[in-house]
A and B are shown apart, each in its own frame.
Chain A
Amino acid sequence: MTDPVRQGSISRRALLAGLTGLGTWAVLPESGSDAQPRRPAALLPRAVPNPTASLHLAATDGWVSMPQGSPPISPFWPDPLAPAGSDLYVFGFRDVTGLSATEVTGQRGKAQITAPLLGFDQETDIKIKLTNLGLSQRPDLVDGHTVHWHGFRNAIPLFDGVPELSISVPIGREFTYFYRPHDAGTYMYHCHFEDVEHVQMGMTGIVYVRPAQNSGTADVPPGRYVYNDGDGSTRYDREFALMLTEVWAEAHYRDAHIQTTDWTDYKPSFFAFNGRCYPDTLAPNGDPLSQAAGRLRYQPISSLITANAGERVLLRLANLGYRNHTLTVDGVDLLVVGKDAALLRGRDGSAEYQVTSTVQIGPGESRDVILTAPEPGTYLLYDRDLTSLANAGGGRGGQLTEIRISPPGTLPAQTRANA
């Protein structure tokens, strides 16, 4: 076992450590799906020192829109305080990387749900600066905010974002979190300040880590893989992240109207992919800095899945609702290769991939699922819990989206997730 080390050769040694068993269970032995242990995969040398990435997030409140025409939940939804074009009070994160200080401050009251989709390469030195812009609708509250990278292995409390056990960021202040991920896969991040409230209010997003194997090894060519699988079995062509959440409209209303909520009364009214409910899930990606997306301006992440027939499509699924959900794709087999940012293999390399038609995901869990795009056409991806296929209890909606398959060669290569 390699000891992870300080100074000088941190990155290189940490990298090797990470891939030869540093996280005893986090990094699983390299092997094929025939359940026979294999020799460890040789890795190509990588940059020393580690690559770096910087990101600036702002936390604040704001207003978003649930599907129009849903049955009203009087008096809670649509919220009468909502500005034109919106109907639901939320808390959320915004990506304000590169904006000037004035521009950052200008995003107060303009939260988005779900939070920006983040992807990093394994062994990157990541700095995420969090600025707390305060709550424009609730100046009476002094809530702090944090970033909790949910599932990050061997975290130290300072960067784990639990305010009770480290620190949170007061209004008008900032704090920089540091992460050096050694384990590929799909994670989540969310605010942990009064988490039952701040998570429900919308401070939830997906963060994923691309494996070092993507740059190629002696066993697999460079490419896009979900994990350091050593055999290419997690290769994919396109990736789509779906953050599953629930919206309890009554609690959102109470937060906007200076009332308190008994959280054990929890009773969600909307069920969302990436902060949107069907049919909004199909609308293209937006940009909170642009008005082009109209009423979905602050719900910028699309859940429409597109691919060419025959391509391997990765679904990064994460649930930050408080209920279990079970997703299915009509007529398409799903290959589950990862759970909770870990390759599904035993410690002896035994294969645990599953072929299934439904994937159940509990609160706080993630799954990495690969499907092979079938014949051109439209396929539905939805929650098998059919009560989650309604908006405010009415109509067709909720956690449902489409997979649109084109003939081979139609779509150009994917340049970023969910596009």
Chain B
Amino acid sequence: MAAIPFRIPRPRPGRLVLPLLVLALVAVSIVRFGGYAAARPGYAVPHDGQLEAALGVRFTQAAVVGDGGLVELRYLVLDTQKASAFQNDTKHPPRLRNERSGKLAWRAALMKQGHELRPGQSYYLLYLNNGGAVRRGDTIEITSGQRRLAHVPVR
């Protein structure tokens, strides 16, 4: 098999102009016309395999809702039995601590959504956002029993 010859390119600043222009066009188009969908970067909640294995759920969103009065914590069910126990565990509620200010959102509603939670489906908890403890753009730490999940972005 013959080696395919290739050139080692010399640095040529001009080569960058075109891609940069294309990028710029894409960028300004997104900003100008993209609306809410494309203008925001991706949102991701950190994963913790141990926490997920223990609770049977994966937290997928923390969001300020209710005109700032409530915090919604959404989770995906990985394990039906553990998740149902998590949902019914009135002794060890998850608590939300604002990593910026240290304030807590702790008054949650049970939000019982069935006797048995379906794997792969998302459910939610709502918290009273005491005195604006959590604001959009903050990061929070979710504590459930001995388990902690840090740096969860709030949107």
Contact = CB atoms under 8 A, between A and B. Distances in A.
Q: Do chains A and B touch in the complex (CB under 8 A)?
A: yes
A164 interface: yes
Which interface residue of B110, B111, B113 has the most chain A CB atoms within 10 A?
A: B110
A141 B109 contact: no
A163 interface: yes
B112 interface: yes
Contacts of A165: 109
Contacts of B115: 141, 260
Contacts of A63: none
Contacts of A194: 112-114
A163 B110 contact: yes
A164 B109 CA distance: 5
A142 interface: yes
B110 A164 contact: yes
B84 to A, nearest CB: 10
A163 B109 contact: yes
B48 interface: no
Given A142-B88, A164-B126, A260 B114 contact: yes
Interface string B100-128: 00000000011111111000000000100
A278 interface: no
A163 B113 CA distance: 12
A142 B88 CA distance: 8
Interface string A111-152: 000000000000000000000000000000111000000000
B77 to A, nearest CB: 13
Contacts of B109: 163-165
A163 B109 CA distance: 8
Contact of A193 (B88, B112, B116, B126): B112
A163 B112 contact: yes
Interface size class on chain B is 10 to 19
Nearest to B80: A260
Interface residues of A, number: 10
Q: Classify the secondary structure of B's interface with A.
A: loop
B126 to A, nearest CB: 7
Contacts of A141: 115
Interface string A239-264: 00000000000000000000010000
Interface in A266-320: none
Contacts of A142: 88
A137 B113 CA distance: 21
A270 to B, nearest CB: 23
Interface in A377-394: none
B85 to A, nearest CB: 11
B116 A260 contact: yes
Contacts of B88: 142
A168 B111 CA distance: 11
A194 B115 CA distance: 9
A390 B127 CA distance: 46
Contacts of B111: 164
A168 B90 CA distance: 12
Which interface residue of B109, B112, B116 has the most chain A CB atoms within 10 A?
A: B112
Interface string A160-200: 00011100100000000000000000000000011000000
B70 to A, nearest CB: 10
Nearest to B126: A164
Which interface residue of B88, B113, B115, B126 has the most chain A CB atoms within 10 A?
A: B115
Contacts of A260: 114-116
Contacts of A163: 109-110, 112
A279 B45 CA distance: 59
A5 B109 CA distance: 32
Nearest to A168: B110
A89 to B, nearest CB: 14
Contacts of A164: 109-111, 126
Nearest to B116: A260
Interface string B73-96: 000000000000000100000000
Interface string B47-86: 0000000000000000000000000000000000000000
Nearest to B88: A142
19 contacts: A141-B115, A142-B88, A143-B112, A163-B109, A163-B110, A163-B112, A164-B109, A164-B110, A164-B111, A164-B126, A165-B109, A168-B110, A193-B112, A194-B112, A194-B113, A194-B114, A260-B114, A260-B115, A260-B116
Considering the complex of A and B, which 7 residue pairs feature the smallest CB-CB distances, nearest first?
A: A164-B109, A260-B116, A164-B111, A194-B112, A260-B115, A142-B88, A163-B110
Given A163-B110, A164-B109, A164-B126, 13 more contacts: A141-B115, A142-B88, A143-B112, A163-B109, A163-B112, A164-B110, A164-B111, A168-B110, A193-B112, A194-B112, A194-B114, A260-B115, A260-B116
Interface of B: 88, 109-116, 126
Interface of A: 141-143, 163-165, 168, 193-194, 260
